[in-house]
């Protein structure tokens, strides 16, 4: 029996982006994000309740500001004391796991979906999901990009504007394009 496109996605294999089941996830999450983004900033309790409806799981003290854009939402798992500033995009076709005390600056993007390097692969509308893991006590500055398959360790600071393309060890400051370790942080 041949695998469904959803099973390929879940198994970390190339899948077709146009598959109705996969596309259907985006449709329902887009509606929830529209509802979230319509909530005024002076109603944080309503924002928190809607964010909890969107995310797969969230710990205590959840703060998410608008605009929020997600692919699916249910693949997003955040720990306690999560803070996201304005304009967070998480393309969570694969899981995005974040620990406790994660702060995310404005205009940050987290991607779990990648596409083929070949034109033929892109013409076939293929994608592949790669999990993103972010440890505890991480501060991601504004205008950052976290690429598919990246793991960010505990106690990390990602400088504003950084593009994280590779795993980051614990307790370091990283910055640049692509992000590189700038210095060790003594905790």
CATH of the domain at 178: 2.160.10.10
**Is the pLDDT assigned to residue 180 strictly greater than 90?**
yes
pLDDT digits (tens, 9 = 90+) for 109-141: 999 999 999 999 999 999 999 999 999 999 999
Pairing of strands 163-164, 151-152: unpaired
Domain span at residue 59 reads 5-184
Q: For residue 10, give the H/E element and its range.
A: helix 5-10
**Structure confidence by residue, pLDDT tens digits, 138-165:** 999 999 999 999 999 999 999 999 999 9
Q: Could you give the CA distance from residue 146 to residue 92 in angstroms, rounded to a whole number? A: 12
The answer to whether residue 115 is catalytic is yes
Coil, helix or strand at residue 158: strand
pLDDT of residue 125: 94
Catalytic residue among 65, 77, 115, 143: 115
Percent of the chain past pLDDT 70, that is, above it, reads: 100
Query: How many structural domains are present in the chain?
Result: 1
Asked whether the predicted pLDDT for residue 56 surpasses 90, the reply is: yes
Question: Do 121 and 101 touch, CB atoms closer than 8 A?
Answer: no
> For the chain, what is the mean pLDDT?
96
Buried-exposed string 114-123: b where 16+ CB fall within 10 A, e elsewhere: beeeeeeeee
- Model confidence at 70: pLDDT above 90: yes
Q: What is the pLDDT of residue 57?
A: 98
| pLDDT band for position 28 (cuts 50, 70, 90) | confident
Determine the distance from the C-alpha atom of residue 159 to the mean position of all C-alpha atoms in its chain, rounded to a whole number: 17
Phi first, then psi, for residue 96 (nearest 5°) are: -125, 115
């Amino acid at each position: 029996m041949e695998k469904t496109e959803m099973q390929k996605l879940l198994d970390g294999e190339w899948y077709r982006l146009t598959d109705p089941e996969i596309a259907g996830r985006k449709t329902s999450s887009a509606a929830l994000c529209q509802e979230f983004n319509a909530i005024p900033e002076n109603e944080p309790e309503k924002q928190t309740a809607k964010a909890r409806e969107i995310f797969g799981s969230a710990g205590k003290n959840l703060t998410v500001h608008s605009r929020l854009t997600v692919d699916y939402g249910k693949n997003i798992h955040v720990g306690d004391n999560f803070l996201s500033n304005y304009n967070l995009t998480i393309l969570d076709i694969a899981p995005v796991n974040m620990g406790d005390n994660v702060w995310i600056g404005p205009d940050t993007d987290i991607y779990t979906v990648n596409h083929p390097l070949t034109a033929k692969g892109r013409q076939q509308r293929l994608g592949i999901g790669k999990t993103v893991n972010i440890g505890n006590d991480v501060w991601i500055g504004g205008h950052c990009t976290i690429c598919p398959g990246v793991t960010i360790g505990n106690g990390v600071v990602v400088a504003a504007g950084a593009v994280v393309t590779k795993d980051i060890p614990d307790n370091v400051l990283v910055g640049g394009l692509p992000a590189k370790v700038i210095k060790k942080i003594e905790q």
